[in-house]
A and B are shown apart, each in its own frame.
Chain A
Amino acid sequence: DAKTTQPPSMDCAEGRAANLPCNHSTISGNEYVYWYRQIHSQGPQYIIHGLKNNETNEMASLIITEDRKSSTLILPHATLRDTAVYYCIVRANYGGATNKLIFGTGTLLAVQP
């Protein structure tokens, strides 16, 4: 799986958009970009994933650059409950042991009131 690079921490004002960047310059053609988040002492929560097109769901939007070497997760209106560690993971969609998730250090997003 490709290595990802994320800033260790970010702040965001409540009600504003939170834009979390991720670099994955060694991504290969069959690898997807996944985003999870983990609120303290809880299990990771799936947010969104994409291959090359931008994606949007009820939680967030994912913007992937044309060369696929970086992406941005956008939380359009951050709330205090969005304070968590956000993980960007790049992986192919295969089963078995290759399906294990490799979490890096992630970005600690602190939403400020």
Chain B
Amino acid sequence: DGGITQSPKYLFRKEGQNVTLSCEQNLNHDAMYWYRQDPGQGLRLIYYSQIVNDFQKGDIAEGYSVSREKKESFPLTVTSAQKNPTAFYLCASSMGGTGGMETQYFGPGTRLLVL
């Protein structure tokens, strides 16, 4: 089945610790995105990547880092600089390119909790 997988489903972070959230897709999509969702809130864009080896900051990139070494993978690292990391993290992908449909498809999410 084609789709987007995220792991782990739940992640606990200690003070001063960096943690990495995994996102993998087998949809052959060029573009990938990371969003953060807080309780009762909408989605906020953290980072996005339109193509391999390229990524751009979204609206709330501070305290986060990403890499895009492979088309299928877009891991997100939550660094110790992110002071309020507790949230639901969602990865999405879309076909990419120009002029085409940019429907985004989402993974199941990772819930990050701070100990």
Cβ-based interface call for A10 (8 A): no
List residues 57-113 of chain A with CB under 8 A from any CB of chain B: 93-97, 99-105
Q: Is the CB of B103 within 8 A of A96?
A: no
Q: What residue of chain B has the Cβ atom nearest to residue A100's Cβ?
A: B45
Q: A43 contacts B106, CB within 8 Å?
A: yes
Is the beta-carbon distance between A104 and B106 smaller than 8 angstroms?
A: no
Interface residue range, chain B = 20 to 34
Q: Which of B43, B59, B101, B108 lies in contact with A93, CB distance below 8 A?
A: B101
Give bound CA distance, A42 to B88, whole Å.
Answer: 9
* A106 → B minimal CB distance (Å): 9
Task: Chain B residues near A95: list those with CB within 8 A.
Answer: 31, 50, 96-98, 102
| Chain A residue with the shortest CB-CB distance to B107 | A43
Are A34 and B103 within 8 A (Cβ)?
Answer: yes
> A97 contacts B102, CB within 8 Å?
no
**Contact A41 B101, beta carbon cutoff 8 Å:** no
- Closest-CB distance, B103 to chain A (whole angstroms): 6
Whether, in the assembled complex, B74 has its beta carbon less than 8 Å from a beta carbon of chain A, the answer is no
Is A103's CB under 8 angstroms from B42's CB?
yes
- Closest Cβ of chain A to B113, distance in Å, is 13
A-B contact pairs, 24 of them (CB 8 A): A34-B103, A41-B88, A42-B108, A43-B6, A43-B90, A44-B90, A46-B103, A46-B104, A46-B106, A93-B100, A95-B50, A95-B98, A95-B102, A96-B48, A97-B56, A97-B58, A99-B31, A99-B104, A100-B35, A100-B59, A101-B43, A101-B104, A102-B42, A105-B42
- Contacts from B to A (Cβ < 8 Å): 4, 6, 31, 33, 35, 42-43, 45, 48, 50, 56, 58-59, 88, 90, 92, 94, 96-98, 100-109, 111
Seen from chain A, the residues whose Cβ lies within 8 Å of a Cβ on chain B are: 34, 41-46, 49, 93-97, 99-105
